[in-house]
Homo-oligomer: A and B are copies of this chain.
């Protein structure tokens, strides 16, 4: 059988991601894959046919793609690698939250089983990455995203950020500048009417934020297991 190349891993990961957008496991349109991988649609068709030949996806012309069990296993392995590296980069090297994804994108393909084990252990066998996304176990079990959307938090209640979506890099970058990162303490001070901005206290600072943006942030009233943030040693 053909080899699992970097490209194959990328395709499987994207298919996995896109099939989880709604509640249910969806068939993923070829065009969406193309858009996310920044590749032409014909390239996707070709690769997807190859993946089917390898038994990694089910695919019917004009009807989208779905991961097979085998394909999902590989996808989750890559996601695990990705999130372990993200956590390492953030907590051990001090890479800012809005840049870990880009770096992990390349490191995820380079992690042997032995190393994965050692990396996980060195990080304390973590369950969540620095954005608060769950890290699949080696067996392929996924935890959940903790917390509730920030806009639904009760007024004047202290909470801790548990998750920041990394889907849109530009928005993540902005949220980071506001200090809305996992572990931060937040209080919702005011909710303007007609879907207007929310006024927050984040740590010691105050800010106003659009509820759509705030929806990318999840918070929990109980103090959660906060991701470790050992700063890297400086010289």
Which A residues fall within an 8 A CB radius of B? 89, 92-95, 99, 103, 106-107, 109-110, 112, 114-115, 118-119, 121-122, 124-125, 232-235
Q: Which residues of B contact A234 (CB under 8 A)?
A: 121
Q: Which residue of B lies closest to A233 (CB)?
A: B122
Does B93 contact A92, Cβ atoms closer than 8 Å?
A: no
Query: Chain A interface secondary structure, helix, strand, loop or mixed?
Result: loop
CA distance A89 to B114 in the complex (A): 12
Q: Which residue of B lies closest to A232 (CB)?
A: B122
> 3 closest A-B pairs (Cβ-Cβ)?
A122-B232, A93-B118, A106-B110
- Which of B92, B107, B110 contacts A122 (CB under 8 A)? B92
Does A95 contact B121, Cβ atoms closer than 8 Å?
A: no
Does B112 contact A110, Cβ atoms closer than 8 Å?
A: no
Number of copies: 2
Q: Which residues of B contact A99 (CB under 8 A)?
A: 114
Does B125 contact A235, Cβ atoms closer than 8 Å?
A: yes
Q: Which residues of B contact A118 (CB under 8 A)?
A: 93-95, 232
- Which of B93, B109, B122 contacts A119 (CB under 8 A)? B93
Q: Can you report 26 A-B residue pairs in the complex whose CB atoms are below 8 A from each other?
A: A92-B92, A92-B122, A93-B115, A93-B118, A93-B119, A93-B122, A94-B118, A94-B122, A95-B114, A95-B115, A95-B118, A99-B114, A103-B112, A103-B115, A106-B110, A107-B107, A107-B110, A109-B110, A110-B110, A118-B232, A121-B232, A121-B233, A122-B233, A124-B233, A124-B235, A125-B235
A178 to chain B, nearest CB (A): 23
CA distance A233 to B92 in the complex (A): 12
CA distance A125 to B232 in the complex (A): 12
A97 to chain B, nearest CB (A): 14
CA distance A119 to B235 in the complex (A): 12
A208 to chain B, nearest CB (A): 32
Q: Which residue of B lies closest to A93 (CB)?
A: B118
CA distance A106 to B95 in the complex (A): 21
